[in-house]
């Protein structure tokens, strides 16, 4: 009888556990860290890209800084609009650099959130935030991830939290906005990037060739 009662109790406990709702499944936390920059290990999740890969002369670096009160990542370098003499590449423009997250192990699901927030300290330039999602086209011609972009203006020399509603991100193809009606699938995010161009951006912000510097504390998803 005792063995039967023990078996029955174990079965009852397992059933209760299976039927118990996880509160976070019903209502995820109002914010979620996507990336932080607290150690050199955090930098291993990113890689640099810039126009020198295609004959440009821009340079960039990514490092961790100990500011005493905490750590932050620093994307810095120099934007050049020139091309290497005799370059075999044909570029419409040079003068761009960026940092892109490496491939996730699976996807980041941000379907429960509506905003991306960045704690940044900049140089008065306008930067570009890009979200990469799973490709919706199953084609040998179009194998790149889908990209969605929005401008991020970062005031000079002061920490600033930039908040961008996810529905403000526009679909792009190789840096150009696509004139199509598409909706992002925020449950299938495969990567993110931050980049800077010598030209373009929000009118009135710093632009042109020269040095750039962006300090990054964290990137979060918010439910507002």
* Residue 86 within any structural domain of the chain: yes
DSSP at 12 = H
* Residue 96 within any structural domain of the chain: yes
Please give the pLDDT value at position 83.
79
* Residue 57 within any structural domain of the chain: yes
The CATH number of residue 145's host domain is: 2.60.120.430
* Residue 21 within any structural domain of the chain: no
Range 40-77 burial, b when 16+ CB lie within 10 A, else e: eebeeebeeebbbebbbbbbbebeeeeeeeebbbbbbb
pLDDT along the chain (224 residues), means of 10: 52 49 62 94 93 86 83 94 67 80 87 96 94 70 78 90 95 77 88 92 87 96 94
Q: How long, in residues, is the chain?
A: 224
Q: What is the pTM of this model?
A: 0.80
Please give the pLDDT value at position 20.
45
Q: Provide the residue range defining the domain that includes 194.
A: 32-222
DSSP at 197 = E
Please give the pLDDT value at position 218.
96
Contact 99, 47 (CB under 8 A): yes
Burial class (CB in 10 A: 0-12, 13-18, 19+), 108: buried
* Residue 10 within any structural domain of the chain: no
Instruction: Count up the domains in the chain and report the number.
Output: 1
* Residue 143 within any structural domain of the chain: yes
Q: For residues 100 and 40, what is the distance between their CA atoms, to the nearest angstrom?
A: 16
Q: For residues 211 and 224, what is the distance between their CA atoms, to the nearest angstrom?
A: 35
* Residue 194 within any structural domain of the chain: yes
What contacts 182, CB < 8 A, 6 or more positions away? Answer: 171
* Residue 116 within any structural domain of the chain: yes
What contacts 190, CB < 8 A, 6 or more positions away? Answer: 103, 104, 107, 108, 132, 133, 134, 145
């Amino acid at each position: 009888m005792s063995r039967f009662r023990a078996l029955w109790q174990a079965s009852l406990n397992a059933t209760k556990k299976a039927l118990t709702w996880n509160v976070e499944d019903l209502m995820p936390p109002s914010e979620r860290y996507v990336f932080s920059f607290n150690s050199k290990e955090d930098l291993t999740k990113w890689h640099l890209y810039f126009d020198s890969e295609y004959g440009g002369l821009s340079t960039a670096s990514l490092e961790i800084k100990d500011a005493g009160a905490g750590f932050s990542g620093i994307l810095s370098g120099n934007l050049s609009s020139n091309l290497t003499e005799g370059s075999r590449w044909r570029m419409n423009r040079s003068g761009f650099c960026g940092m892109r997250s490496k491939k996730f192990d699976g996807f980041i699901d941000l379907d429960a959130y509506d905003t991306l927030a960045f704690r940044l300290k900049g140089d008065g330039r306008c930067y570009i935030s890009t979200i990469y999602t799973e490709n919706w086209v199953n084609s040998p011609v179009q194998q790149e991830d889908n990209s969605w972009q929005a401008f991020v203006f970062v005031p000079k020399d002061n920490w600033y939290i930039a908040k961008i509603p996810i529905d403000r991100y526009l679909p792009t193809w190789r840096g150009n906005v696509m004139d199509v009606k598409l909706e992002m699938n925020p449950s299938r995010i495969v990567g993110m990037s931050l980049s800077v161009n010598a030209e373009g951006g929000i009118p009135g912000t710093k632009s042109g060739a020269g040095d750039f510097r962006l300090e990054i504390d964290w990137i979060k998803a918010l439910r507002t």
